[in-house]
Structure formats: C-alpha cells, structure tokens
Amino acid sequence: MNFNQLKFVRAAARQDFNLTEVANTVFATQSGVSRKIKELEDELGVEVFERRGKRLIGLTEPGKQLLPVIERILLDAKNLRLMAQQFTREEVGHLDVATTHTQARYALVPVVKEFRARFPKVRLTLYQGSPPQVADMVAEGDADVAIATEALDNHPALLTFPGYGWHHCVIVPPGHDLEHAEKLTLELLAAYPLITYDSAFTGRSHIDKAFANAHLTPDVVLTAMDADVIKTYVDAGLGIGIIASIAFDPVRDQHLRKLGAEHLFDANTTKLGVRKGAYLRNYALEFVHLFTPELDREEVQAALKKHLANGEA
C-alpha cells in the first residue's frame, strides 16, 4: 500500500469516477490510475469501486467505508509534513486562501499587506470562486483557509469562525430620484429595476428574505458574482444596485452615489473556515488572527487540536 494508491482512490471519488479527469488531476495516465487502484483492491482483498467494463461507476459498500479512512490517512500525512516544516523552516512556506471576489478585492487587501510584511518568505495564493467552491477547496485540501459570507457554516468538513459583520448599501447614478427620498424603503426599491448579487453570493439570501417578508417581488434584471460588475451596469443605467457596503469606495466610485440600507436588510457575517483535523502552521494562524483580530490564536489551535484528536478529516 502506498500514498499514490490512496490519492488515486480519493481523486476518483472526487471526480465522479471519471478516469480521464482523475488522470489529469493526479498527473498520471488512465492506465496507470486503473492499475494502482486495482493493486490496492487486490492488497485489501475487497473491491473499492463498482465497474461497468473498464469504467468506474461508483463506490462499493466497502469502498464507502474505506474512503473516510483514506481521507484521514492523507490528511494526517499532510499534517506530519506541516508539523516538521514548522520546526525546520518556520518562516518559509506557502498559504493558500480560497475566497470570493468581493473579499479578495476589498476586505483582504489590508490583511494581505500586513501578512506579507510580517512573512515575506511565505508564498500567498488567493483562489477565487463561489462560496460553495470556496468551501469545497478547503474541505478537499486544495486550500488552507476559506473566507466567505455564504456556504461555510453548512459544510460538515469545515470548522468555522465568525469574521466581521457588514451591511448592504444601495448605489445609484448621480441625480437619481432615490437620492432625494426622505427615507429609503423596500417599496421604493421594488419600483426600480435592481442589479445585485447572484443567489449564492455576498448575503443575497438576506436581500431576498427582506423583500419576501414585506410581500414584495423585486424586479431583479441582472445578477453578478462581484460588486465591480454590478457597479458597471448601474453606471450604464440598467438599474439601481445593492452591494456590500465595503465594496463602495468614495474615491474610485465618484460616478455613483451610496445610500445607506442598514435598516432594510439584516446584517451579514463573513466567516472564516478551516478543515476539521487540519494542522495550521504559525503563519497561517497569524493570517487568521489578522483577518479576525478578536479571534485568539489559542482558541483556533484548541479547536483544531480537538478535531485532530477525534480523528476527523
């Protein structure tokens, strides 16, 4: 039994049993992947995968029970390497952060600047995606830290911590009628075409909930994954926008006007997530602390050690 065999089994499960995708993921040939998986099955004495001809079509019952053990073994192996590096190369390494465009573009800028100043020898990579993609990247070991407003709390493989709270705001072109409204209301917003986030992004659920509770059906004419696109189309005259307030820059966005909407939509909390059972090096813990100063490093370490002791992957 070797780690390559275990990695190939894990990759096959993650790639919906498509050997072409598995081979691309693990940088091997399809025949090589098939051979290694078969060697492992022969050694274990059970079939891990159901097959139709040469195609993998699913996990057998033994395979379903073996997969979580394989995940834990591979996670433990990664943790061992990280622990050793903590002592041999304390200030050298890499940190992979999975996040959304809005977080990367606005909230993380000061955090990244400070982190780079403190750890110049650590290579930092920001991966961007939808909140479900961000959660999966960390759950599957492709990133160390996840930062998003949606999806993290509901992922069983993640340990999450509150980051920071924020509200939505409304943006309009200069001279728009809403600039002169005595009080901004949901009824007023519903009278205009709206441009806001896609349903899985940046607190969109709170926007939908507010209109639903008011028995209003807003005319959402365009949705996007990030605030910059929304601002572009508001500026083009396609409608009024609802974005995260942190995404409005008074200097860069002088062509738009920001209207407070704290009284219209529930507050949002951006979360930070790490994989249960994972080991975080000191510089990764410091990144977490920089993002959420109220979160004590020892608190994060204690939570991770608890899950590590429980053998969770």
Domain spans of the chain, in order of start: 3-74, 90-165+269-309, 168-266
> pLDDT for 57-69, tens place per residue?
889 998 898 888 8
In this predicted structure, which of 201-205, 243-247, 309-313 has the lowest mean pLDDT?
Answer: 309-313
The more confident residue out of 68 and 305 is 68
pLDDT category, 29, cuts 50, 70, 90? confident
Return the pLDDT at 121. Answer: 92
The more confident residue out of 258 and 15 is 258
Cα(174)–Cα(312) distance, rounded to whole angstroms?
A: 53
Q: What is the mean pLDDT of residues 230-243?
A: 96
Q: Residues with Cβ < 8 Å from 52, sequence gap 6 or more?
A: none
Q: Does pLDDT of 311 surpass 70?
A: no
Give the range with max mean pLDDT: 20-29, 108-117, 153-162: 108-117
Q: What is the mean pLDDT of residues 233-241?
A: 96
Whole-number Cα distances in Å, 44 to 47, 63, 85, 162: 8, 11, 32, 43
Q: Is 90-165+269-309 in the same CATH topology as 3-74?
A: no
Pick the CATH number of 168-266 from 3.40.33.10, 3.90.226.10, 3.40.190.10, 3.40.630.30: 3.40.190.10
Q: Does pLDDT of 305 surpass 80?
A: no
Tally Cβ neighbours within 10 Å of residue 301. 16
- At position 199, the amino acid (one-letter code) is S
Which tokens sit at 167? 């509200």
pLDDT category, 310, cuts 50, 70, 90? low
Q: Does pLDDT of 173 surpass 60?
A: yes
Q: What is the mean pLDDT of residues 281-285?
A: 89
Return the pLDDT at 307. Answer: 62
Q: Does pLDDT of 90 surpass 70?
A: no
Tell me which CATH code domain 3-74 carries.
1.10.10.10
> pLDDT for 122-135, tens place per residue?
999 999 999 999 99
How do 158-166 and 268-275 pair as beta strands?
A: antiparallel
Q: What is the DSSP string of 166-206?
A: E-EEEEE-TT-GGGG-SS--HHHHHTSEEEEE-TTSTTHHH
Q: Does pLDDT of 89 surpass 90?
A: no
Return the pLDDT at 86. Answer: 66
Q: Does pLDDT of 84 surpass 80?
A: no
> pLDDT for 207-220, tens place per residue?
999 999 999 999 99
Return the pLDDT at 104. Answer: 94
Q: What is the DSSP string of 229-287?
A: HHHHHHHTTS-EEEEEGGG--TTTTTTSEEEE-TTTS--EEEEEEEETT----HHHHHH
Return the pLDDT at 53. Answer: 86
Q: Does pLDDT of 313 surpass 70?
A: no
pLDDT category, 247, cuts 50, 70, 90? very high
**Domain 90-165+269-309 belongs in CATH node 3.40.190.10:** yes
Whole-number Cα distances in Å, 310 to 72, 184, 186, 277, 301: 11, 51, 48, 8, 14
Place of tokens 């009824």: 187
Q: Does pLDDT of 297 surpass 80?
A: no
